[in-house]
Structure 1
Amino acid sequence: MKIYKFLLLTILSFGLFTSCSDDDSPGPKSTELPGEEPNSSVQLEVKDFVWKAMNNIYVYKSDVPVLGDSYFSTQNELNDYLEDWDSPEDLFYEGLRSDQDRFSWVVDDYEILESQLQATNKSAGFKYDWARVPNSDTRLVAFVVYVSPNGPADQAGLKRGDYITEVNGQTITIDNYRNGIFNPDNLNLGLSVIEEGQAVSSGDPISITKNVFKEETIPVKKVFTQDGVKIGYILLSTFLGERGVDDARLNDVFGEFKSENIEELIVDVRYNQGGWSDFSSDLGSMVTGQFENKIFTKQQWNDTYQTYFEEENPERLVSRFDSKVINGDEINSLNLNKVYVIATGRSYSASESFIIGLEPYIDVIHIGTATGGKFQGSVTMYDGDNFGKTNINTNHKYAIQPLVYKYANANGYTDFVNGLEPDVIIEEYPSTLGQLGDLDEPLLSEAISQITGVRSQIPEEINRWESGNLKVESEKGYFIHSPEPFNGLSRKKSIFIK
Structure 2
Amino acid sequence: MLTLNANMKLRNFLPIAMLAMALFVSCSDDDIAEPETTELPGEVPDSNVQLEIKDFLWKAMNNIYLYKEDVPFLADDYFATQTELNNWLANWDSPEELFYEGLAYNYPNVDRFSWVVSDYEVLESQFQGTGKSAGFTYGWSYAPNSTTEVIAYILYVAPGGPADVAGLKRGDFISEVNGETITINNYNKGILSPDFLEVGLSTIENGALVPQEGTLEITKTSFKEDTSPISKVFIVDGVRVGYLYLSSFLGEFGVDDVKLNDAFGFFDSENIDELIVDLRYNRGGYSEFSADLGSMVTGQFEGEIFTKQQWNAQYQAYFEQEDPERLLNKFDGAVSNGDAINGLNLNRVYVLGTGRSFSASESFIIGLEPYIDVVHVGTETGGKFQGSVTLYDGDGFGKQNINTNHKYAVQPLVYKFANANGFTDFVDGLVPDIVKEEDILNLGQLGELDEPLLARAVADITGSADRSFLSEGPKLQKIKVEEERGFFIETPLTGKELPIKKRLFEEK
Identify whether the pair has TM-score above 0.5, normalized to the shorter chain. yes
Over 3 Å counting, the alpha-carbon distance change for 1:293 and 1:25 in structure 2 is farther
- 1:457 deviation in Å? 2.0
Over 3 Å counting, the alpha-carbon distance change for 1:296 and 1:91 in structure 2 is same
CA distance in 1, matches of 2:401, 2:481: 45
- Could you give the per-residue CA deviations for residues 464-485 of structure 1, whole angstroms, max 9, x where no partner exists? xxxxxxxx52xxxxx4427xx7
- 1:446 deviation in Å? 0.2
Task: Give the counterpart letter for 1:111 in structure 2.
Answer: E
Q: 1:481 aligns with which of 477, 483, 487?
A: 477
Which residue number in structure 2 is paired with residue 338 of structure 1?
348
Task: Give the counterpart letter for 2:37 in structure 1.
Answer: S
CA distance in 2, matches of 1:24, 1:395: 29
Over 3 Å counting, the alpha-carbon distance change for 1:46 and 1:327 in structure 2 is same
Which residue number in structure 2 is paired with residue 251 of structure 1?
261
Which residue number in structure 1 is paired with residue 398 of structure 2?
388
CA distance in 1, matches of 2:179, 2:451: 32
Helix, strand or coil for the counterpart of 2:36? coil
- Could you give the per-residue CA deviations for residues 142-192 of structure 1, whole angstroms, max 9, x where no partner exists? 111111111111111111101110111111111000011111111111011
- Could you give the per-residue CA deviations for residues 355-386 of structure 1, whole angstroms, max 9, x where no partner exists? 00000000000000000011111111111111
| Alignment of structure 1 residues 199-218 onto 2, 5 Å | 199-218=209-228
Which residue number in structure 1 is paired with residue 61 of structure 2?
54
- 1:213 deviation in Å? 2.1
| Alignment of structure 1 residues 38-437 onto 2, 5 Å | 38-99=45-106, 100-218=110-228, 220-437=230-447
Q: 1:450 aligns with which of 460, 485, 488?
A: 460
CA distance in 1, matches of 2:359, 2:337: 23
Over 3 Å counting, the alpha-carbon distance change for 1:320 and 1:7 in structure 2 is farther
Which residue number in structure 2 is paired with residue 469 of structure 1?
none
**Mapped contact 2:68–2:75 kept (Cα < 8 A):** yes
- 1:18 deviation in Å? 8.2
**Mapped contact 1:143–1:430 kept (Cα < 8 A):** yes
Compute the RMSD of aligned alpha carbons.
2.1
- 1:219 deviation in Å? 5.3
- 1:440 deviation in Å? 0.7
Q: Which has the higher mean CA deviation after the structures are superposed, 437-446 or 136-145? A: 136-145
Over 3 Å counting, the alpha-carbon distance change for 1:412 and 1:459 in structure 2 is closer
CA distance in 1, matches of 2:149, 2:481: 12
Mark the runs of 5 or more structure 2 residues left unpaired by the alignment.
22-33, 483-508
**Mapped contact 1:6–1:276 kept (Cα < 8 A):** no
Helix, strand or coil for the counterpart of 2:454? helix
- 1:196 deviation in Å? 2.7
Task: Give the counterpart letter for 2:35 in structure 1.
Answer: P
Helix, strand or coil for the counterpart of 1:460? helix
Q: Which has the higher mean CA deviation after the structures are superposed, 375-384 or 31-40? A: 31-40
Helix, strand or coil for the counterpart of 2:194? coil
Task: Give the counterpart letter for 1:325 in structure 2.
Answer: V
Helix, strand or coil for the counterpart of 1:39? coil
Displacement over 4 Å in runs of 4+: 3-8, 17-27
Helix, strand or coil for the counterpart of 2:42? coil
**Mapped contact 1:191–1:202 kept (Cα < 8 A):** yes
**Mapped contact 1:19–1:380 kept (Cα < 8 A):** no
- 1:36 deviation in Å? 2.2
- Could you give the per-residue CA deviations for residues 363-416 of structure 1, whole angstroms, max 9, x where no partner exists? 000000000011111111111111111111111111101000101100011110
**Mapped contact 2:51–2:86 kept (Cα < 8 A):** yes
Task: Give the counterpart letter for 1:155 in structure 2.
Answer: V
- 1:7 deviation in Å? 12
Which residue number in structure 2 is paired with residue 467 of structure 1?
none
Q: Which has the higher mean CA deviation after the structures are superposed, 287-296 or 209-218? A: 209-218
Over 3 Å counting, the alpha-carbon distance change for 1:19 and 1:261 in structure 2 is closer
With structure 1 as the length reference, what TM-score do the two structures score? 0.89
**Mapped contact 1:20–1:380 kept (Cα < 8 A):** no
Query: Share of identical aligned residues, percent?
Result: 63
CA distance in 2, matches of 1:147, 1:37: 48
**Mapped contact 2:349–2:374 kept (Cα < 8 A):** yes
- Is 1:30 the counterpart of 2:40? The answer is no
- Could you give the per-residue CA deviations for residues 175-217 of structure 1, whole angstroms, max 9, x where no partner exists? 0000111111111110111123321122321111111222222
- Could you give the per-residue CA deviations for residues 330-351 of structure 1, whole angstroms, max 9, x where no partner exists? 0000000000000000000101
CA distance in 2, matches of 1:196, 1:267: 35
- 1:24 deviation in Å? 7.8
Helix, strand or coil for the counterpart of 2:332? coil
CA distance in 1, matches of 2:116, 2:130: 19
- Could you give the per-residue CA deviations for residues 107-151 of structure 1, whole angstroms, max 9, x where no partner exists? 111111111122110111111111111122210111111111111
CA distance in 2, matches of 1:419, 1:182: 28
